[in-house]
């Protein structure tokens, strides 16, 4: 048995249980009521038959003033008033209501609940309905407690998604009924859906909760998408979109770049300081959007500040548009509002990847010193990282432009178009009123009131392992070729340095030895000692290989010991001249 049934039984059994303690008086009162009914019927009968009987009328009133009947009447009236008063008092605290109209609705819902004929009583938390089974099917008056991050959409039970238009039967019935005398026929008036924000939401008779909406930021990520690059290579990546129905639209700057045609109007990527604004790049604007932006641009006026204490702003119009303006996927099936940004983002991602060659995701000369300097100038980012950062920024701007966004048109005071990498002073700019576009367009979702906070995609990988392997081998061969060329260049530089140092050592050694030999004659031991000291000084101060040093020592040995070898007959008398620098 449901709890409200148990409560209904308890509430209506209380007077019966109470009457059991006064059964004698209650029984006497019931008999008196029965006698009153019989006497009243007799009086009416005599009255109809035109037979006056004052005695019967006196007996009727005498029964009503009997103690037992009065006890029964007054006891029932006291219980009824106490019961209603108790519900009225409890209704002030059961629900967080402050206004009398809300208190009246809370009291009515509590009465319906006590009688067991209430509608849905649910909680909505984080965009999720929390209720009992089959409770949402009821179209009786109910109540919903909606938290600060949610909203609900209410429709009549006979309404449909197509703006509550009547069915054929309802239309014919409303126009075919003959008008009553003195009354005009009332045509069918469709009941419009309504959205309710956080707080206590009372549903009226015939209303149902059609949908609930989460006002917080929503994040959606696809599985791996397989797309083709410009050179026909299939790649895969994941697309992520963050969007919301409560955040204010982001304001971006638009302006002419390079010309004054509609195709030259672009969303500007800028970096702004206190006095200057630099145009870093731009993304093309849809032609229809460009016309709307220029047509709606007016002189700037101050916007009213928003309330910073509301965590999630509730906009009834945006919630209704999100629920009822359903989009279709690639298969033509209707999809909920929170899937539309992801569907549109995947289309943009496919288009952007078809314009980029696959090599751009893996190019880069890691061993080129000039390119290294460029990388250091750009916050230690490689060329691939710089390219991907710019590509992701363009992707995010294009996705945001599909949703609700505020465009502010800017131009020079003289009307000249901008150019990329141009630095402009802020006091030389003319700013127009920000324009928020809401018109429905193909593959756009701004008419749903959705604001995209950010959009990006992950690493771009080859879909086929064979392609990955081939691209890796090609990249590896390219790097190995660069390494070989660099090694050859470094080896040539090293050989040139060694040859230059060897020539310097030979020149210095020759100079030292010639000075020794041209000096005053010495004994052989002293001469050998001075030669070795000169060699030691030359080797310590210069870069000489062990082979060169060994050759020099061998020549000196043969020259100094030539006389001794000649006396022993072991060597020619006239040895060849020494070559200390060989």
- What DSSP line would sit under 456-507, residue for residue? EE---EESSHHHHHHHHHHHHHHHHHHHHHHHHHHHHHHHHHHHHHHHHHHH
When the pLDDT of each residue in the chain is averaged and rounded to a whole number, the result is: 75
- 184 pLDDT exceeds 60? no
Q: For residue 352, give Cα distances in angstroms to 103, 173, 311, 402, 480.
A: 57, 55, 36, 15, 32
Going by pLDDT thresholds of 50, 70 and 90, the confidence category of residue 36 is: low
Q: Do residues 495 and 359 share a domain?
A: no
Domain boundary among 214, 229, 250: 214
Q: Do residues 441 and 355 share a domain?
A: yes
In a domain, 100, yes or no: yes
In a domain, 322, yes or no: yes
143 C-beta neighbours (distance < 10 Å), count: 23
Q: Do residues 380 and 510 share a domain?
A: no
pLDDT of residue 86: 74
In a domain, 204, yes or no: yes
Q: How far apart (Å, rounded) are the C-alpha atoms in residues 146 and 197?
A: 7
Segment 371-413, tens digit of pLDDT: 444 444 445 677 888 889 999 999 999 999 999 999 999 999 8
pLDDT of residue 56: 57
Write down the pTM of the prediction: 0.63
- 365 pLDDT exceeds 70? no
Q: Which residue has the higher pLDDT, 86 or 350?
A: 350
- 454 pLDDT exceeds 90? yes
Going by pLDDT thresholds of 50, 70 and 90, the confidence category of residue 134 is: confident
Q: Do residues 407 and 274 share a domain?
A: yes
What average pLDDT score do residues 97-115 get?
75
Q: Do residues 53 and 145 share a domain?
A: no
Segment 211-222, tens digit of pLDDT: 899 999 999 999
Domain coverage including residue 138: 119-162+190-214
Based on the structure, what is the number of domains in the chain?
4
Q: Do residues 482 and 443 share a domain?
A: no
Q: Do residues 197 and 279 share a domain?
A: no
Of the ranges 104-113, 226-235, 559-568, the best mean pLDDT one: 226-235
Q: Which of 341-350, 482-491, 571-580 has the lowest mean pLDDT?
A: 571-580
| b (16+ CB within 10 A) / e for 467-504 | eeeebeeeeeeeeeeeeeeeeeeeeeeeeeeeeeebee
Q: Which of 75-84, 193-202, 433-442 has the lowest mean pLDDT?
A: 75-84
In a domain, 175, yes or no: no
Q: Do residues 263 and 396 share a domain?
A: yes
- 501 pLDDT exceeds 60? yes
Of the ranges 57-61, 135-139, 492-496, the best mean pLDDT one: 492-496
Q: How far apart (Å, rounded) are the C-alpha atoms in residues 436 and 304?
A: 15
Q: Which residue has the higher pLDDT, 328 or 19?
A: 328
Going by pLDDT thresholds of 50, 70 and 90, the confidence category of residue 145 is: confident
**Are residues 150 and 198 in contact, defined by beta-carbon separation less than 8 angstroms?**
yes
Q: Which residue has the higher pLDDT, 413 or 48?
A: 413
What average pLDDT score do residues 284-298 get?
86
Domain boundary among 199, 214, 229: 214
- 178 pLDDT exceeds 90? no
267 C-beta neighbours (distance < 10 Å), count: 23
In a domain, 42, yes or no: yes
What average pLDDT score do residues 166-184 get?
54
- 240 pLDDT exceeds 90? yes
Q: Do residues 334 and 424 share a domain?
A: yes
Going by pLDDT thresholds of 50, 70 and 90, the confidence category of residue 493 is: confident
């Amino acid at each position: 048995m449901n709890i409200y049934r148990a409560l209904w039984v308890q509430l209506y059994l209380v007077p019966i249980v109470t009457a059991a303690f006064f059964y004698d008086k209650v029984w006497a009162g019931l008999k008196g009521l029965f006698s009153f009914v019989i006497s009243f019927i007799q009086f009416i009968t005599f009255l109809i038959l035109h037979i006056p009987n004052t005695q019967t009328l006196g007996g009727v009133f005498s029964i009503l003033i009997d103690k037992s009947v009065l006890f029964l009447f007054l006891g029932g009236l006291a219980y009824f008033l106490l019961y209603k008063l108790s519900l009225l008092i409890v209704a002030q605290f059961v629900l967080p209501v402050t206004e009398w109209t809300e208190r009246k609705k809370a009291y009515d819902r509590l009465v319906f609940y006590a009688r067991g004929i209430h509608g849905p009583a649910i909680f909505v938390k984080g965009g999720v309905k929390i209720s009992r089974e089959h409770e949402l099917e009821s179209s009786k008056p109910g109540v919903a407690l909606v938290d600060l991050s949610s909203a609900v959409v209410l429709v009549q039970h006979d309404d449909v998604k197509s703006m509550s238009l009547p069915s054929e039967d309802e239309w014919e019935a409303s126009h075919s009924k003959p008008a009553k005398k003195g009354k005009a026929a009332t045509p069918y008036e469709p009941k419009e859906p309504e959205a309710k924000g956080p707080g206590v939401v009372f549903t009226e008779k015939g209303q149902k909760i059609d949908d609930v909406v989460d006002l917080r930021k929503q994040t959606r990520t696809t599985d791996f998408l397989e797309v083709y690059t410009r050179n026909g290579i299939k790649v895969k990546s994941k697309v992520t979109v963050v969007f919301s129905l409560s955040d204010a639209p982001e304001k971006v700057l638009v302006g002419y770049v390079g010309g004054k045609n509609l195709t030259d109007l672009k969303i500007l990527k800028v970096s702004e300081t206190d006095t200057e604004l630099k145009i870093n790049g731009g993304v093309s604007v849809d032609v229809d959007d460009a016309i709307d932006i220029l047509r709606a641009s007016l002189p700037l006026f101050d916007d009213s500040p928003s309330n910073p204490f509301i965590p999630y702003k509730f906009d009834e119009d945006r919630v209704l548009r999100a629920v009822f303006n359903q989009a279709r996927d690639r298969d033509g099936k209707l999809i909920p509002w929170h899937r539309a940004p992801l569907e549109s983002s995947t289309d943009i991602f496919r288009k952007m990847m078809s314009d980029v060659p696959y090599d751009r995701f893996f190019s880069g000369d890691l061993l080129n010193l000039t390119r290294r300097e460029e990388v250091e100038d750009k916050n230690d980012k490689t060329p691939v990282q710089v390219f991907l950062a710019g590509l992701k920024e363009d992707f995010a701007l294009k996705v945001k432009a599909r949703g609700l966004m505020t465009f502010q048109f800017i131009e020079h005071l003289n009307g000249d178009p901008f150019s990329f990498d141009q630095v402009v002073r802020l006091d030389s700019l003319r700013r127009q009123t920000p324009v928020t576009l809401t018109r429905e367009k193909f593959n756009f979702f701004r008419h749903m009131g959705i604001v995209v906070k950010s959009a990006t995609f992950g690493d771009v990988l080859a879909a086929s392992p064979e392609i990955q392997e081939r691209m890796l081998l090609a990249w590896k061969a390219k790097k190995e070729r660069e390494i070989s060329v660099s090694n050859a260049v470094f080896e040539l530089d090293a050989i040139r340095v060694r040859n230059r140092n060897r020539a310097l050592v030979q020149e210095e050694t020759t100079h030292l030895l010639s000075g020794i030999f041209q000096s005053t004659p010495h004994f052989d031991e002293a001469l050998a000692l001075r030669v070795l000291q000169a060699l030691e000084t030359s080797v310590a101060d210069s870069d000489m290989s062990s082979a060169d040093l060994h050759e020099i020592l061998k020549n000196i040995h043969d020259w100094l010991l030539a006389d001794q070898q000649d006396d022993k007959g072991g060597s020619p008398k006239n040895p060849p001249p020494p070559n200390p620098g060989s």
